[in-house]
Structure 1
């Protein structure tokens, strides 16, 4: 899939920059294994898409990865609405909890690799 331009709110750029500087421990860990095209595709951190900021995004294939903290346990409906809006632009979304990333990052990477193969 060629890089597709997805609109975003320009006012989210400063917040995205701030989030890049203040990553959670789980985000730091996952970024350490996603960066530098280590899986064969390029990911970016804290990317504005539509009205949202995605934790990790690969423009080449349209894959968004979210790492969710405990706040997401109570906002299932909001997360589902957000996911549907993003998916309507042809973007696939994967979600992992902080605990999943921190306790078994290799399993998370396996799931991401499987998704990359499916999308390519």
Structure 2
């Protein structure tokens, strides 16, 4: 297992080196009505660092570029997602082209994942830190 300090340093580096697609989604996530909670970006979870994480709903958002089509990378993604789901997290994935092509649809999908439907009222979400 990689030490906590190494995982945190890796997350910090990834936050400093965000892709244009991550920056665009990060700004858009701040506009979603999410009273009482927030998303974290490049959050260390277990031995992984996830792109975006909503602790209150245990929801993770992963952005994938073209290199995720490679067999080896796709297999690592599957293993990673299986582990995260076994730990009780929900993972949704978007292609970078989804962010460029229809950001509104991406945000609607995220809202549905958070609240159950597009018409759902925003309710305060709370999360507890694990110690």
State TM-score, norm by structure 1.
0.86
CA distance in 2, matches of 1:68, 1:9: 26
Aligned to 1:111: 109
Structure with the greater alpha carbon radius of gyration:
2
For residues 27-72 of structure 1, give each alpha carbon's deviation from its aligned partner in whole angstroms, at most 9, with x where no partner exists: 0000001127x33131000001111110000011100000111111
- CA-CA distance at 1:91 after TM superposition: 0.5
- Tell me if 1:70 matches 2:66: yes
Aligned to 2:128: none
- CA-CA distance at 1:9 after TM superposition: 4.4
Structure 1 residue runs of 5 or longer lacking an equivalent are 1-7
CA distance in 1, matches of 2:105, 2:89: 22
- CA-CA distance at 1:103 after TM superposition: 1.5
Equivalent position SS for 2:38: coil
CA distance in 1, matches of 2:3, 2:87: 15
Aligned counterpart in structure 2 of residue 52 of structure 1, from 34, 41, 48: 48
Equivalent position SS for 1:99: helix
Aligned to 1:21: 16
Structure 2 residue runs of 5 or longer lacking an equivalent are 118-124, 126-131
Aligned to 2:89: 91
State TM-score, norm by structure 2.
0.79
How many pairs are equivalent? Answer: 112
Query: Which contiguous aligned blocks of 4+ residues in structure 1 show a shift greater than 6 angstroms?
Result: none
